[in-house]
Amino acid sequence: MKNFMLKWFDNEKAVSGQKKNDGEHIDLSRIIPFIAMHVACLAVFYVGYSHTALLVMCVSYLLRMFAITAFFHRFFSHKSFKTFRWVQITFAVIGTTATQRGPLWWAAHHRRHHRHADTASDVHTPDKGFLESHVLWFLRKNNFKTDHSQVKDLSTVKCLYWIDRYDMLFPVLYGLMLYLLGHWVATSYPDLGTSGGQFLVWGYFISTVLLAHVTFSINSLAHLIGSRDYQTKDNSRNNFVLALLTLGEGWHNNHHCAPGSIKQGFKPWQIDISYYILKGMEWCGLIWDVKYPNQLVLNKKLIKVKS
């Protein structure tokens, strides 16, 4: 049991125990907790509801979604801006609590996605079926290892390396923190009608499941449903609903046209909340050297509408 737990928390030990023919198999040590996380949402019928718990769920969702979209994606994957090391580490930890693996793993897979989007080498192309592109790819053993060759620029940062190696530690600590915070709130402000269990179930389990499936929908749906403004080598599409739910990532065709851009909503009505927050951080001096899309490239790739 001790050896199993060490492998579960230490990704390098887990990878070292894999066999060469394990590749396409689902990793049971990962899918069972993944399923359990969904089942744990049913505990809501036990812990009940309060306005405070709902607020905690929303804040937990939005904070971690921003960490994923603005930092795991736009910063770690595409280097769309520069920032202080402490800002990188802070959002690397917050993003890792989303239980979508660590920053190096996330960035390595995303960079590979851009190189092979919608080809046989793209592990989550919709051409392989909805379930595969949405979630099964995430649970397969051959996609578990962090490909450090894709993120050589990030792997040298020791803090990021250790966060990535022990990524499961952070969701566990996050859940514990929420439970203890909820217990303190319940004790200090009993009129709010909440509890440690409510904070854990609403703030971690429900929030994390929503966060996961909305994020995964960019892989499974944003290459199938929506409009295309720009000619790209893939089937990426702009989807207004996904853009709202992901704080801007739904403008996926825009992104594939100009992947290095900090801004993904190119038109005034294309809401990109992550970009607005990042602009605020730029104004505060927390980020700098911000990259924007090249208008000449956009004009060249623009799909002309026949009159």
List pLDDT tens digits, range 130-168.
888 998 888 888 888 888 899 999 989 999 999 999 999
In tens, the pLDDT along 286-306 reads: 999 999 998 888 888 888 654
Predicted confidence band at 246 (pLDDT cuts at 50, 70, 90)?
very high
**Per-residue pLDDT tens over the stretch 47-105:** 999 999 999 999 999 999 999 999 999 999 999 999 999 999 999 999 999 999 999 99
Radius of gyration of the chain (CA): 20
Residue 270 to residue 120: CA distance in whole angstroms: 31
CB 234 within 8 A of CB 256: yes
DSSP type of residue 278: H
Confirm if 107 and 92 have CB atoms less than 8 A apart. no
Report residue 22's pLDDT band, with 50, 70 and 90 as the boundaries. Answer: low
Per-residue model confidence (pLDDT) at position 7: 62
Torsion angle of alpha carbons 283, 289, 295, 301, nearest 10°? -120
**pLDDT above 90 covers what percent of the chain?**
71
CB of 11 closer than 8 Å to CB of 166: yes
Given this model, what pLDDT does residue 307 score? 38
**Helical spans, DSSP H, in the chain:** 2-9, 11-16, 28-40, 44-47, 51-66, 85-96, 103-116, 130-131, 137-139, 152-155, 158-165, 169-188, 196-200, 207-220, 240-245, 252-257, 273-283, 295-301
